[in-house]
């Protein structure tokens, strides 16, 4: 009788001897292995899904952050107010973000919504509109790059870099720009003489210094415009009949005049932005009242201090310079305005070219103020749009410099001075003229866009 050991096949000689009970246990053990393997695989899948969700949320937050930074940059650097909402909505659709935008003067509201969870997140941005043509052109390039498919992460980094960039020009050169813009505008726009030009330049320098103080001390910023106009009115009146008070006073506060603000309000109303346009128009009119009130208080303050309260002689404003000097003064005016608006040197040629077209039409057209403004604005618009289309640059920058010489802010302040003075009826006529000229400029600029870009929808992207 052979033993179990001798009868066993050679292949099982290395297998340990187990009892039937143990073999039963051995038969139950293997099914547990696949269950453990299946459980670990599901855990890994859940972890992968979790990381994917985190990645999607981070990407959505990055896109929302970019839209917030873009909206704030457009406001701070002087983009056309009636195009900011449209530009932000276009970027949101490109990035597949469900967002809505509402712009009011000094306030931007952005609402992000999630249709799957039926939730929304609303952000309120408080920022006042500024002017920085160099940074605005860079922001425009970033927005175009996103529309053409650039990643949002790269666009965010570029936008942060632009935000942190220092101004192109040092402080002393910016103050020199304030001086030059006021000095050379006095004979060019307000019929002043050489003495008027010198005093207006000094007044512009003082306004620039107060503007720097207001930017660094927000508490003073609330009364900056009124105190600056009081100072200019005081200085202009102190020289008596040796200078033209109106030319010096208006040229001294030329950078603060609300003509561009009112023109933007008319454009917003034309684009059916009723709330924002109405608020901006009312603010522009009140802003003109602030400046006119300050100039009047400054003049009366000099009369109180000096004891001379007699009115100025009509001959004080009859010493304007020859018009042929305008062609030598104009380049200095253009350079000064470019410095104040922080325009890069590569933008100067386009700005000077477009502004020259507006100046020529303004000087040599013999029609009324409304017709002249409409034709000059149309010429400025066509030149600026063609320049932007040929060079590929943002056409809004040269357009803005050209429109600045056409805007009727000085007319409105003249009206306020007349209302506060002895001729209220003439003052209200000036105010109505300011509104009419703004409507004429809006008509001319919009018609120019229609002529240059009749069927191209991108003509409205960050443009007049």
> Under a CB-based contact definition with an 8 Å cutoff, are residues 342 and 169 in contact?
yes
Per-residue pLDDT, 197: 93
Q: Of residues 389 and 416, which shows the higher confidence score?
A: 389
pLDDT digits (tens, 9 = 90+) for 103-150: 888 889 999 988 777 788 889 988 888 889 999 999 999 999 998 888
DSSP 174-230: HHHHHHHHHHHHHHHHH---HHHHHHHHHHHHHHHHHHHHHHH-HHHHTTHHHHHHH
- Give the torsion sign (CA, 53, 59, 62, 68): negative
- Residue showing tokens 């960050």: 462
Per-residue pLDDT, 424: 60
pLDDT digits (tens, 9 = 90+) for 332-360: 888 998 999 999 999 999 998 988 888 88
Per-residue pLDDT, 206: 95
**Bridge partner residues of 101 (DSSP):** 110
**Confidence band of 38 (pLDDT split at 50, 70, 90):** very low
> Under a CB-based contact definition with an 8 Å cutoff, are residues 390 and 404 in contact?
no
- Give the torsion sign (CA, 446, 283, 352, 145): negative
**Confidence band of 259 (pLDDT split at 50, 70, 90):** confident
Task: Give the mean pLDDT of 377-397.
Answer: 86
Other C-beta atoms closer than 10 Å to the C-beta of 299 total 25
Per-residue pLDDT, 439: 86
Structure tokens at 1: 């009788």
Spatial distance between the Cα atoms of 265 and 43, rounded to a whole number of angstroms: 59
CB-neighbour burial class of residue 201 (10 A; exposed 0-12, middle 13-18, buried 19+):
buried
**Bridge partner residues of 113 (DSSP):** 120
Q: Of residues 413 and 353, which shows the higher confidence score?
A: 353
- The pTM score is 0.80
Among 443, 418, 440, residue whose Cα is nearest residue 430: 418
Other C-beta atoms closer than 10 Å to the C-beta of 106 total 14
Query: Mean pLDDT score of the chain, rounded to an integer?
Result: 80
Residue 387 in 3-state DSSP? Answer: helix
pLDDT digits (tens, 9 = 90+) for 66-91: 999 999 999 999 888 878 888 899 99
Q: Of residues 3 and 311, which shows the higher confidence score?
A: 311
Spatial distance between the Cα atoms of 196 and 236, rounded to a whole number of angstroms: 9
CA 108 to chain centre: 12
Residue 445 in 3-state DSSP? Answer: helix
> Under a CB-based contact definition with an 8 Å cutoff, are residues 103 and 85 in contact?
yes
Spatial distance between the Cα atoms of 133 and 400, rounded to a whole number of angstroms: 10
CB-neighbour burial class of residue 126 (10 A; exposed 0-12, middle 13-18, buried 19+):
exposed
Phi, psi for 228 (deg, rounded to 5): -65, -40
By percentage, how much of the chain surpasses pLDDT 70? 80
- Residue 109 parent element (H or E): strand 107-114
Per-residue pLDDT, 398: 87
Per-residue pLDDT, 45: 55
CB-neighbour burial class of residue 301 (10 A; exposed 0-12, middle 13-18, buried 19+):
middle
pLDDT of residue 19 exceeding 50, the answer is: no
> Under a CB-based contact definition with an 8 Å cutoff, are residues 456 and 395 in contact?
no
> Under a CB-based contact definition with an 8 Å cutoff, are residues 395 and 421 in contact?
no
Per-residue pLDDT, 199: 94
- Cα angle value 121/278/445 (rounded, 5°): 100
Structure tokens at 439: 């409507």
Q: Which residue ranges make up each domain of the chain?
A: 46-164, 171-460
Phi, psi for 336 (deg, rounded to 5): -65, -45
Q: Of residues 94 and 429, which shows the higher confidence score?
A: 94
Q: Which of 28-42, 186-200, 312-326, 379-393 has the lowest mean pLDDT?
A: 28-42
Residue 359 in 3-state DSSP? Answer: helix
- Residue showing tokens 């003229």: 433
pLDDT digits (tens, 9 = 90+) for 263-292: 888 888 887 888 888 888 888 888 888 888
Rg, C-alpha atoms of the chain = 34
pLDDT of residue 25 exceeding 60, the answer is: no
Q: Of residues 39 and 63, which shows the higher confidence score?
A: 63
pLDDT of residue 373 exceeding 70, the answer is: yes
Sheet of strand 107-114, all strands in order from the earlier edge strand to the far edge: 99-104, 107-114, 119-126
């Amino acid at each position: 009788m052979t033993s179990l050991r001798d009868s066993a096949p050679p292949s099982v000689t290395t297998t340990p001897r187990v009892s039937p009970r143990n073999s039963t246990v051995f038969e139950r053990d293997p099914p547990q292995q696949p269950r453990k393997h299946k459980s670990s695989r599901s855990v890994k899948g859940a972890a992968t899904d979790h990381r994917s969700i985190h990645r999607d949320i981070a990407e959505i937050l990055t896109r929302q952050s970019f839209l917030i930074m873009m909206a704030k940059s457009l406001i701070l650097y002087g983009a056309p107010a009636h195009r900011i909402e449209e530009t932000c909505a276009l970027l949101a659709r490109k990035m597949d973000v469900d967002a809505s935008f509402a712009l009011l003067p000094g306030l931007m509201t952005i609402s992000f919504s999630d249709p799957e969870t039926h939730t929304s997140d609303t952000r309120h941005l408080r920022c006042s509109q500024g002017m920085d043509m160099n940074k605005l052109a860079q922001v425009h390039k970033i927005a175009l790059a996103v529309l053409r498919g650039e990643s949002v992460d790269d666009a965010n980094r570029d936008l942060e870099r632009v935000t942190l960039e220092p101004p192109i020009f040092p402080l002393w050169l910016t103050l020199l720009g304030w001086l030059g813009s006021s000095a050379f505008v006095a004979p060019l726009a307000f019929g002043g003489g050489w003495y008027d030009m010198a005093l207006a330049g000094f007044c512009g320098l003082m306004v620039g210094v107060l503007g720097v103080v207001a930017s660094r001390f927000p508490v003073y910023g609330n009364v900056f415009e009124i105190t600056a106009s009081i100072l200019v009115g005081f200085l202009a009146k102190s020289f008596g009949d040796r200078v033209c008070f109106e030319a010096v006073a208006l040229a001294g506060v030329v950078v603060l005049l609300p003509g561009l603000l009112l023109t933007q309000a008319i454009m917003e109303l034309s684009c059916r932005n009723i709330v924002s346009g109405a608020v901006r128009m009312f603010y522009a009119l009140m802003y003109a009242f602030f400046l006119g009130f300050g100039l009047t208080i400054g003049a009366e303050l000099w009369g109180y201090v000096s004891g001379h309260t007699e009115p100025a002689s009509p001959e004080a404003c009859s010493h304007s310079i020859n018009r042929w000097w305008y062609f030598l003064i104009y380049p200095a005016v253009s350079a000064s305005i470019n410095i104040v608006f922080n325009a890069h040197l590569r933008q100067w040629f386009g700005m000077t070219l477009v502004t020259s077209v507006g100046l020529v039409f303004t000087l040599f057209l013999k029609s009324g103020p409304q017709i002249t403004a409409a034709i000059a604005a149309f010429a400025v618009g066509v030149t600026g749009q063609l320049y932007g289309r040929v060079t590929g640059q943002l056409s809004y920058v040269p357009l803005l410099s050209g429109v600045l010489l056409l805007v009727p802010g000085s007319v409105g302040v003249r009206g306020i001075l007349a209302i506060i003075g002895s001729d209220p009826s003439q003052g209200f006529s000036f105010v109505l003229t300011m509104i009419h000229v703004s409507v004429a400029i809006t008509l001319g600029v919009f018609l120019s866009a229609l002529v240059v870009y009749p069927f191209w929808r991108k003509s409205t992207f960050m443009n007049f």
